[in-house]
Amino acid sequence: MKPRKPPKPRIALVLGDPAGIGPELVARLLADPVAAQSAELLLIADRAELERGMAVAGCRTPYVQAASMNEADFSHGKPVLVDYRGETEGEFERGLSSVKGGRYCLDTLSMALQAIRHGQADAILFAPLNKHSLHQAGMHTSDELHWFVEQLGFDGPVCEFNVLDGLWTSRVTSHIAHREVADQITRQGVTQGIELIHRELLRSGVAHPRIAVCGLNPHNGDNGSFGREEIDIIGPAVEAARARGIPVEGPFAADTIFLKVQGEQRQYDAVVTMYHDQGQIAMKLMGFWRGITVQGGLPFPILTPAHGTAFDIAGQGVANPGAMWQAFQLACRMALARREQEAEHALA
């Protein structure tokens, strides 16, 4: 007897900052019939903002409105909207950061987290946020990843992963000043970064991940001439991870490693970098409008486009939905892989 295929994943969709291109991106995603064929779509959004996004995008998709998430009915094959605005009232300011926009983002994301914690969604996909708006609204963590950690009460290691055309990157340090980077590179931190991305690749359905690790210094330190982090810290961390059975190599010079991960001859599935821009610059040059950010290490798949809110083009109907579509597809794959892995563990 053939094993029963899992049902379609249910993806909780959040509009992101209403001052930016998020509502338009969600509208364009909904308008693609493949989206509804791939997943059950749970919209957690203010109805007026959803309608405005559809008007800006020039494409309106029929949906069903539910009084609450418990009453969401997907039997019609249409997206289901839970009309939710949170604590904000009145019109949003457009094209700029604001307390109200940040508050709306935090409130709708909080509702999406409730949905996924209670089994009403398998993954969260949110349109771009604006960090200044979030901080104005009271978010005191450095970024949304650590806000998710706080909201979930999660105490495990986490890392923001960026994904482009199947290539993953992570970083040992992230949103800190460059002058602090070298002091924050430790054997434990590098090993943890390797282990995290290996685990996340497996969770996303990559059966045999291949991982490369960047050095920190120019020319990989040139045998200690330009710094010893590669010799004293990064290299030993790579060896420690390899001793645990993780297929990882490095450290490699950061200015050449990305030549090994492009095209059909790609040698690695992931690159662990030492700081934010070491990988971000390369990834955005290779495909800015296709890049995805995965909130890595969390118990649930949470994804977003890697680009920002694009306040400068908000409301013009010209936003590129490429990254939103890529993030949606990966969210579906990760949600199904998570279901399958949970089923296997239940049978074990």
**CATH of 157-290 given 3.30.750.24, 3.40.50.720, 3.10.580.10, 3.40.718.10:** 3.40.718.10
The predicted structure's pLDDT at residue 1: 41
Strands (DSSP E) found in 198-267 = 211-214, 248-252
Domains 1-154+298-348 and 157-290 equal at CATH topology level: yes
Mean pLDDT of 84-101: 94
pLDDT band at 2 (very low <50, low <70, confident <90, very high): very low
Mean pLDDT of 123-142: 96
Cis check: omega of the bond before 236, within 30 degrees of 0: no
Residue 35 token pair: 């989206």
pLDDT band at 204 (very low <50, low <70, confident <90, very high): confident
pLDDT band at 265 (very low <50, low <70, confident <90, very high): confident
In the 8-state DSSP scheme, what is residue 304?
E
The predicted structure's pLDDT at residue 120: 94
DSSP 155-199: -S--EEEEEETTEEEEESS-SS-GGGHHHH--HHHHHHHHHHHHH
* CA–CA distances in Å: residue 160 to residues 273, 298, 307, 338: 11, 10, 14, 19
Q: What is the mean pLDDT of the chain?
A: 94
The predicted structure's pLDDT at residue 36: 94
Identity of the amino acid at 314: A
Residue 161 token pair: 């992963």
53: left (phi over 0), alpha (psi -120 to 50) or beta: alpha
Residue 117 token pair: 């914690």
pLDDT at 4 over 60: no
Q: What is the pLDDT of residues 157-196, one digit of tens each?
A: 999 999 999 999 999 998 889 999 999 999 999 999 999 9
Q: What is the pLDDT of residues 64-75, one digit of tens each?
A: 999 998 999 999
pLDDT band at 203 (very low <50, low <70, confident <90, very high): confident
pLDDT band at 291 (very low <50, low <70, confident <90, very high): very high
Q: In angstroms, rounded to a whole number, what is the distance separating the alpha carbons of residues 163 and 105?
A: 23
Mean pLDDT of 227-249: 97
Identity of the amino acid at 252: F
* Percent of the residues in the chain that have a pLDDT greater than 90, as a whole number: 89
pLDDT band at 348 (very low <50, low <70, confident <90, very high): low
3 state SS of 250 = strand
Topology of domain 1-154+298-348, CATH: Isopropylmalate Dehydrogenase (3.40.718)
Q: In what order do the strands lie in the sheet with 211-214?
A: 64-66, 80-83, 40-45, 10-14, 123-126, 302-305, 292-296, 159-164, 167-171, 270-273, 211-214, 248-252
Q: What is the pLDDT of residues 32-62, one digit of tens each?
A: 999 999 999 999 999 999 999 999 999 999 9
pLDDT band at 216 (very low <50, low <70, confident <90, very high): very high
Domain boundaries, given as residue ranges, for the chain? 1-154+298-348, 157-290
